[in-house]
Structure 1
Amino acid sequence: MVLSITAMASDIERGFGTSEGVFVRGLHLVRWTPALHNCVVLNVDGSVMGVSSRGGFGGCTRSDQGQWKSGFFGFMDDACILHLELQALFHGLTVVWEQGYKRVDCQSDSLTAVTLVESVSPSTHLYASLIWDIKDLLGRAWTVNLHHTLKEGNACADFLAKHGASQGDVLVVIEDLIPRLGLLLLADASGFSSLRM
């Protein structure tokens, strides 16, 4: 299906051509990104429910080939999206540290959260304490590659963050898949998560 859509887009572009001054956007397959060999992948996300301040955070760990290892989710009341994204980073890194992983590829779809953690944060930032806690985790005796990913490639973490927002537990770590998460894992593994024009 994806290949036929891509071929069709190429045919249309060739048929109509491009002229100077006209910008034609490309068709890109957006999917979950596997990691280097022998590296666990940690995807994290935060979510706010509608116009309320009820929010959640969540994430999951997978092998470098995409096999499920574990997940987590949690609830926060009266929180903004940036706070939830940072909480997802903190709790996700804490979970994988406690599980004993030493090589981690951490992916977040919040460019703001990733930038704050990777830069020298001002001590006056509203979430300075949480940012320093994340930096402390990153400085431990392990290798963590933290980077931004597109939201379309972060579907499992998004699902768990929304699940966290819909319940009332501060933090839950799960070993087994919860309903509907298996379909997202299959989509991620096959590369058919989303098409972006």
Structure 2
Amino acid sequence: MRSPLTAQVSESKILLNTDRAVCLDTGYASAGGVARDEHGQWLFGFNRYLGKCSIFDAKLWAIFEGLKIAQQRGYDTIIILSNCLDAIRALQGSTIGTSNSALIRRIQNILTQENL
């Protein structure tokens, strides 16, 4: 059973902005983002060093990390704001279990667990 505070948090909608940075010379990447409530108030930020990574995978890692933190904090309604159309298409275009990417499958598992 959820406490009243947790129930109140989980009913709110959050906006998740994600981004990544990849050094083209070395391939080293990081991912991060920020979550805000529906009124634009900051809720949390995050970042993660990824090591060598493609630009596409770095964007997926940013989405994954943001969703994971939001899920851990009890948010049920998450709107992902991304400037990477390829990543969104990859997430929408494959069904769970059909993607060759374990990262895409992990993101989809979070989305289906939370009915996002």
Specify every segment of 5 or more residues in structure 1 that has no aligned partner in the other structure, as ranges: 1-37, 145-197
Shift, 1:106, TM fit: 1.0
Shift, 1:124, TM fit: 6.5
Matches within 5 A, 1:15-26: none
What is the distance in 2 between the residues matched to 1:50 and 1:136?
31
Residue 184 of structure 1 aligns with which residue? none
What is the distance in 1 between the residues matched to 2:57 and 2:17?
16
Matches within 5 A, 1:88-103: 88-103=62-77
Shift, 1:50, TM fit: 4.1
- Is 2:25 aligned against 1:51? yes
- Is 2:84 aligned against 1:110? yes
Cα distance change, pair 67–124 in 1 and its aligned pair in 2 (3 A): closer
Matches within 5 A, 1:30-69: 38-69=12-43
What is the distance in 2 between the residues matched to 1:84 and 1:104?
20
Count of matched residue positions in the alignment of Structure 1 and Structure 2: 104
Residue 83 of structure 1 aligns with which residue? 57
Residue 141 of structure 1 aligns with which residue? 114
What is the distance in 1 between the residues matched to 2:99 and 2:68?
24
Cα distance change, pair 132–65 in 1 and its aligned pair in 2 (3 A): same
SS in 2 for 1:139: helix
SS in 2 for 1:55: strand
What is the distance in 2 between the residues matched to 1:42 and 1:113?
15
Cα distance change, pair 108–124 in 1 and its aligned pair in 2 (3 A): closer
Greater Rg by CA = 1
What is the distance in 2 between the residues matched to 1:103 and 1:131?
19
* Greater relative contact order (Cα < 8 A, sep 6+): 1
Specify every segment of 5 or more residues in structure 2 that has no aligned partner in the other structure, as ranges: 1-11
* TM-score, normalised with respect to structure 1: 0.50
The two structures, once aligned, show a CA RMSD in angstroms of: 1.7
AA matched with 1:131: I
AA matched with 1:139: T
What is the distance in 2 between the residues matched to 1:56 and 1:90?
13
